[in-house]
């Protein structure tokens, strides 16, 4: 039998562990010598690097759609905390430093959270869709991701209007599971984030044009049965392209997924099932 972690022993030990991690993060923010972004501009920087939007209310298996409505509210509160933020050279973007703790007193509602590979509920959750959006835009830029967590061991929901490859998502938890990137270039960048009735929208902008473009490619995407379970496999690459010549500068593997499928086989595309 696998020995349980301290945080798994009881709800009390879980709260103790979370409190400890939150405190450790606050101490790290004070003493890590990073310069964190804190400048906002209402005017957009002139060059649009990448633009993306994601559907807010999605049918995710048997998830209560009320939680999707709550997520829409949570996103409407969080989006302005990021909108217009400037990322200067050598500055670090931290999602939680900007958004802060999402509490009921601030208007946040109960949302869906993945805990120990299972669906759960908590106030302010559902914001992983926000960091998913930011992460997808950052992947299309020369900015360097320095903290990124994800649910890479499980595939919980069947594809529903999927726009990006499986395995390019994020997992966040205030404040100890953060999403961070650093600007190691000589250019200044800006994030624009807002919501419409249907979509969470974002833009990554810059003060000057980039020499290269960045494209995300998925290879070897398929499902395979191992023992009594199906697993989803794929590989995610970034292609760096010279804008002038159109030549491929390099192709870098950034993620290799092998994730247990937790939904019914009938939702798996039969043409993607293979035998290894």
Give the DSSP letter string of the chain.
-PPPPGGGS-HHHHHHHHHHHHHHHHHHHHHS--EE--EE-SSPPSEEEEEEEEESS---TT--HHHHHHHHHHHHHHHHHHTTEEE-TTEEEEHHHHH----GGGT--EEEEEETTEEEEEET--THHHHHHHHHHHTTSS-EEEE----TTEE-S--SS--S-TT-----BTTTB--EEE--SSS-EEEEEEE-SSEEEEEEEESS--SEEEEEEEEEEEEEEETTEEEEEEEEEEEEEETTT--EEEEEEEEEEEEEE-S-GGGS-GGGEE--
Q: What is the structure's pLDDT at 148?
A: 96
> For residue 158, what pLDDT is reported?
81
CA–CA distance, 70 with 61 (Å, rounded to integer): 17
Residues 124 and 273: their CA atoms lie apart, in Å, by 36
What's the pLDDT at 119?
Answer: 67
Structure tokens at 116: 């120990």
How many Å apart are CA 95 and CA 86, to the nearest integer? Answer: 13
Q: Is cis: bond before 175, omega within 30 of 0?
A: yes
pLDDT in the model for residue 161: 67
Q: What is the pLDDT of residue 118?
A: 63
pLDDT for res 15: 85
Predicted pLDDT at 223: 96
Give residue limits of the domains in the chain.
Answer: 1-33, 34-209
- Residues in the chain with pLDDT values less than 50: none
| Separation CA 173–CA 155 (nearest Å) | 19
CA distance 216 to 63: 29
Residue 170: predicted pLDDT: 93
Distances (CA, A) of 74 to 4, 132, 157: 33, 15, 21
The CA angle 107-108-114, to the nearest 5 degrees, is 170
């Amino acid at each position: 039998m696998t020995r349980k972690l301290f945080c798994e022993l009881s709800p009390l030990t879980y709260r103790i562990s979370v409190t400890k991690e939150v405190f450790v993060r606050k101490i790290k923010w004070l003493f890590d010598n990073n310069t964190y972004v804190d400048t906002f501009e209402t005017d957009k920087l002139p060059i649009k690097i990448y633009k993306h939007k994601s559907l807010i209310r999605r049918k995710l298996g048997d998830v209560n759609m009320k939680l999707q409505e709550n997520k829409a509210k949570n996103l409407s509160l969080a989006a302005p905390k990021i909108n217009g933020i400037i990322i200067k050279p050598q500055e670090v973007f931290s999602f939680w430093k900007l958004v802060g703790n999402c509490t009921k007193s601030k208007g946040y509602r109960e949302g869906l959270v993945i805990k120990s590979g299972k669906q759960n509920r908590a106030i302010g959750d559902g914001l992983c869709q926000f960091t998913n959006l930011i992460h997808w835009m950052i992947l299309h830029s020369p900015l360097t991701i320095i903290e990124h967590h994800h649910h890479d061991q499980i595939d919980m929901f069947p594809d529903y209007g999927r726009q990006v490859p499986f395995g390019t998502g994020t997992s966040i938890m205030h404040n100890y599971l953060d999403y961070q990137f650093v600007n190691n270039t000589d250019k200044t960048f800006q994030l624009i984030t807002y919501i419409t009735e249907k979509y969470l929208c974002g833009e990554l902008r810059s003060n000057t044009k980039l020499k290269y473009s960045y494209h995300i490619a998925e290879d070897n995407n398929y499902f395979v049965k191992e023992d009594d379970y199906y697993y989803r496999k794929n590989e995610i690459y970034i292609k760096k392209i010279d804008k002038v010549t159109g030549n491929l500068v390099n192709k870098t593997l950034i993620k290799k997924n092998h994730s247990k499928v937790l939904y019914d086989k009938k939702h798996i595309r039969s043409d993607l099932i293979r035998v290894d």
